[in-house]
Amino acid sequence: MQTLPFPNHRPPEYLKLENEPEFSAARHLALEMPQAVTSLSELGYDAETIKACPSEFGVSSAFRILSDEGLAAMRDICLKMYDNRNVSVGTGVNRLGSYVRGAGYRSQFMKDFCDSPELAEHISKIASVKLARHSVPAVACGVNYAPEDITKAVDTWHVDSVAFDIVMMLSDPTKFEGGEFQYFHGTKMEGQKLLGIDGEEGKDTDLPADRVITVPFPTGGYGFMQQGNMIFHRACRMKHKAERITVIPSFVVAQADAADATNSVNMAGWDDPGLKAELARHEAWRASARLEALVDKISLHDEGEALSAQIDAALAPLLKFRDRIGGA
C-alpha cells in the first residue's frame, strides 16, 4: 500500500461539487522538470540533520504542472469551492487567512489530480525519494486564497507540518501585486531564532532581505516543490485586493515504515472537521508498518532492554499523538 485510501465518507460541512470535468493526466497535466534545485546542505543544514531527512532535496524553482486545459478546469473548481472554504473558529491556531483543506472531499477532479500516479512519479524524481499522495486528506490537497483583509499576510513565516508539498499558482501572476512566495536562505532554526519564535508558529515580520529568496511563478499552472518542514517560508501581503489562488498538494514518503515528518501533534490543534480522525488513521498506518518491520528486525539475541527500545520506537509517534488528543 503506497498511501491510505480516502475515507469512504466525508465531513458533512464539505459540499461535493457537481458536474465536474473528469480528470485526465494526458489532457490536464503538462509536467516539466524544475530548472533549479536547492539542497538542504546549500541552506546550511549539517550532515546529521540531513541524514535524518528522507532526502537532501530542499526546494525547487517553479516548474510546469498543468496544461492550459488543466489550469482552466482547476481554477474554475477552486473558485467554486471558495464559498465552502474552511472556517477558523477563533482559536487563533489557524495561521492562514482564507483556505480550503480537504479539497479532495469536495472535488473528485482535485482528488484524482492529487492521486495521479504520473504526478507522484514526477515529484519523486525531483525529491529523490519515492513519494505518494499524503494519507491525511485535509492536507493532501489544500487551496489558499488571498485573505479578505489584505493588511494580513497570505501566510506568515513558518515551516509546514508535512515533509513534502507543492505550491502551485492558479491565478495569473501578472494580474496581482504583492503576494510573493518567499523562503529564508538558511536553516529553519536560524530563521526562527532571528524572529524569536519556535515550532511552526507563524510571524508576520521581515527577515534580512539579503537572506530571503522570492520564487517566481512564470504563469498559472506552474508550481514549485519543497521539503516543507525544513524550509522556512511565507506568502507576503497583497498590495491590492485581487485573485491569488494557490493549490498545495502534500505527499508522504511511500515506504510506510520510513521516518515520517508529518507533524500530527501540531495538526491536532487545527479545527478542521474530521482532522483528528484522519491523523489517527495516518499514525495507525505508519505504526502498524513499523511493527510489521519489527517482526523481521527482532533478533533472538536481543534482551529486554533492546526489545523494549525497539517496541517504544515503533509506537512512539502514535502514542505521542494519542497523548496530544488525550480524549479532550
Nearer to Fe ion, 73 or 191 (CB): 191
By CB under 5 A, the residues from 189 to 248 that bind Fe ion are none
Burial of 240 (0-12, 13-18, 19+ CB in 10 A): exposed
Smallest distance from the beta carbon of 127 to Fe ion, in angstroms? 16
Between 115 and 160, name the residue whose CB sits nearer to Fe ion: 160
Of 115, 160, 272, 278, the residue at the interface with Fe ion (CB under 5 A) is 160
Q: Which residue is nearest to Fe ion (CB)?
A: 160
Nearer to Fe ion, 86 or 310 (CB): 86
CB atoms within 10 A of CB 251: 28
Number of residues forming the site for Fe ion (CB under 5 A): 1
167 has which bridge partners? 224
Only one residue has cell 515528518, namely 261
Within the chain, strands assigned E span 37-39, 57-60, 63-64, 98-100, 131-133, 141-145, 153-158, 164-169, 181-184, 212-214, 222-227, 233-237, 245-253
Q: Euclidean distance between the first and final Cα of the chain, in Å?
A: 31
Q: How many CB atoms lie within 10 A of CB 9?
A: 8
Closest by Cα among 155, 148, 160 to 182: 155
**Which of the ranges 107-115, 139-147, 157-165, 198-206 carries the binding residues for Fe ion, by CB under 5 A?**
157-165
- Grid coordinates given for 279: 491523523
Kindly state the smallest distance separating residue 226's Cβ from Fe ion, in Å. 8
Stretch of 83-91, 152-160, 198-206, 260-268 contacting Fe ion, by CB under 5 A: 152-160
**Which is closer to Fe ion, CB of 250 or CB of 310?**
250
Nearer to Fe ion, 56 or 160 (CB): 160
Q: Per rule CB under 5 A, is residue 272 in the interface with Fe ion?
A: no
The minimum distance between CB 233 and Fe ion, in angstroms, equals 6
Residues in contact with Fe ion by CB under 5 A are 160
